[in-house]
Amino acid sequence: MTKNDLIIRVGGEGGEGVISSGDFIAAACARAGLEVYTFKTFPAEIKGGYAMYQVRTSPDHIYNQGDTFDVFCAFNGEAYEMNKHLLRPGTAFVYDYPGGDFEPDAIPAGVHAYPIPMTAAAKELKSARSKNMVALGALSVLFNISEETLSEVLSKKFGKKGQEVLDANLAAFAKGKSLAQGIKKTDTWRVADPKPPKDVIVISGNDAVGMGSLIGKLDFFSAYPITPATEIAKYVATHIPKFGGTLVQAEDEIASISQVLGASYAGKRSMTATSGPGLALMSEMLGMSAMSEVPVMVVDVQRGGPSTGLPTKHEQSDLFLAIHGGHGDAPRIVLSVENVKDCVDMAVDALNLAEQYQCPVLLMSDGSLAFSTQTIPAPDPSSYKIVHRKRWDGQGEYKRYVMTDDLISPMADPGTPGGMHVATGLEHGETGAPKYTAENHELQARKRFGKIKTVVDQYAPVEVDGSGAADIGIITWGSTIGVVREAVMRLREEGIKVKGFYPKLMWPMPVAQYEAFAATCKKILVPEVNFQGQLSHFIRAETSIKPIPYAICGGLPFTPAQIVQKVKEVI
């Protein structure tokens, strides 16, 4: 595949400005009309430890963070040690020297090395914290990052902190430019020239979920802070008052989902957001939602586990928990997002499905996507359809759990004349009063499971990438889809017959679509970022397909090159 994009990686100590440097580069490229896709990783500690930010930018659409960097900027010796094995002929290497804490050992042949005294320059300017601005100035000159858009981004960021702060950072930025202008450039890497501006925004996965929930007419949000989901609550807290909604920071995850159920019972569109440990604590109340048929939306931003695990690292290991986490037979709908645009669109979908089917709906994201920023079309709120819960018409005797043709019973908000009822965790009859007979329990279980069966037909459950017969089909989910899309394109350019299958509706499982896809492929490969091959497990359990699992769990997402190599091995 012809490479027409550039990947810049910045690495250093947490607290040195690594993350903000990457944010500035991404924002500048987006302002210049280019596509961006970022990936970042940082330690779980508040300050200290290795942090990395990677920006991929291109004039064309980008599906993932890429294979590895073309340009690497090392703020310190640890960053160099973590990445030196990735330096290869043709890559550009910018590092803090002299005056930094390391001097590189033998730089591989063919690597274009550019020493920039970042620390020394910042000290000379009596602004030690502006080391990252020196680096940013040097990178802008060496790799054609638009000075105009970078200056706009920096002015917007630091202008809020006062003229003195702005001037200090702009001076460090100018110093970095001056240092780079004195270096002879020997590589050919450059950010694409600016294009005409487009109606786009640059937004992270977490913020996009928050935006989507507000577009979806969210009324009430309650959550307990947890990495990597907290930014969803921060976004909603900032904006929901403008729409007359309410946000509560609860004392723990059990309290948060309990408050969400209470608000939903009162007639409000309600949700919470958490990660794996919090979702585990919510399992009993998810059962309460299923039993009482009270709508609730839960966002699960997956992280490395189990237990506290890897709070800031990437994993897709909550699928078992999302689908079957809870006691008894507790039905729910589970969705999974691929990219930042999905985070907006499918947050609206999740709220709609919870309201329509009166059940828990889980929307699954992951740590990589949560912090990733991407360029997406600016959403038009008026273009989204809002689905409301079925409400009682006030006629006759109100029976909360009356059997209907679609098995979805009308709801009555508290205070509705004649609509008084109870909604508890006890098994019940049509009125909501406790009823424990064997016949009734089986009837109500059939009702609760039966009403969500139609979601497979109503909600576009999967996307098939390719047509006709294939030597290999790749089934994957979540943010790994974007990696597989690029790998599929590369493989086809090499003449390999390959197809992709990308489910967004994880449960109920659209079995017929899985079977139809597999029937056109000689072999099925299932890449996913968890140790057990969780989607592979469900495919084996629910279909006749015998997939080949490809599971990794090192805290990082797949790269397209890994998928390409694995496909060739399997074929």
pLDDT tens-digit series, residues 148-196: 899 899 998 898 888 989 999 999 999 999 999 999 999 999 999 988 8
**Pairing of β 71-74 and β 6-13:** parallel
Largest CA distance in the chain: 85
Q: Where does the chain hold its CATH 3.40.50.920 domain(s)? A: 460-570
- Beta-bridged to residue 52, according to DSSP, are 11, 41
CATH architecture designation of domain 202-383: 3-Layer(aba) Sandwich (3.40)
Fold of 6-181: Pyruvate-ferredoxin Oxidoreductase; domain 3 (3.40.920)
Map tokens 């914290």 to a residue: 129
Q: How many CA atoms lie within 13 A of 335 on its CB side?
A: 29
Both tokens of 295, joined, read 């709508």
* CA neighbor of 271 nearest in space, from 341, 382, 348: 348
CA angle, 27 then 206 then 18, to 5°: 45
Give the Cβ contact number of residue 317 at 10 Å. 22
Both tokens of 307, joined, read 């237990």
* CA neighbor of 92 nearest in space, from 1, 193, 28, 6: 6
Give the per-residue pLDDT at 46.
67
Separation in Å, CA 270 to CA 255, 348, 391: 14, 12, 16
Fold of 460-570: Rossmann fold (3.40.50)
d(CA 425, CA 82): 52
The tens-digit pLDDT sequence of the chain (571 residues) is 335 689 999 999 988 899 999 999 999 999 999 999 999 988 777 667 899 999 999 999 999 999 999 999 999 999 999 999 999 999 999 999 999 999 998 899 999 999 999 999 999 999 888 999 999 999 999 999 998 899 899 998 898 888 989 999 999 999 999 999 999 999 999 999 988 878 889 999 999 999 999 999 999 999 999 999 999 999 999 999 999 999 999 999 999 999 999 999 999 999 999 999 999 999 999 999 999 999 999 999 999 999 999 998 999 999 999 999 999 999 999 999 999 999 999 999 999 999 999 999 999 999 999 999 999 999 999 999 999 999 999 999 999 999 999 999 999 999 999 999 999 999 999 999 999 999 999 999 999 999 999 999 989 889 999 999 999 999 999 999 999 999 999 999 999 999 999 999 999 999 999 999 999 999 999 999 999 999 999 999 999 999 999 999 999 999 999 999 999 999 9
Contact status, residue 525 vs residue 548, Cβ threshold 8 Å: yes
Q: Where does the chain hold its CATH 3.40.50.970 domain(s)? A: 202-383
Contact status, residue 298 vs residue 362, Cβ threshold 8 Å: yes
Q: Where does the chain hold its CATH 3.40.920.10 domain(s)? A: 6-181
Give the Cβ contact number of residue 473 at 10 Å. 26
* 438 burial level (CB within 10 Å; 0-12, 13-18, 19+): exposed
φ and ψ at residue 40, rounded to 5 degrees: -140, 150
**Pairing of β 521-528 and β 498-503:** unpaired
Both tokens of 558, joined, read 């797949």
d(CA 151, CA 466): 43
Q: For 468-484, how does the pLDDT look when each residue is reduced to its tens digit (9 = 90+)? A: 999 999 999 999 999 99
Give the per-residue pLDDT at 44.
72
d(CA 304, CA 316): 8
What type of residue sits at position 225?
P
Give the per-residue pLDDT at 47.
66
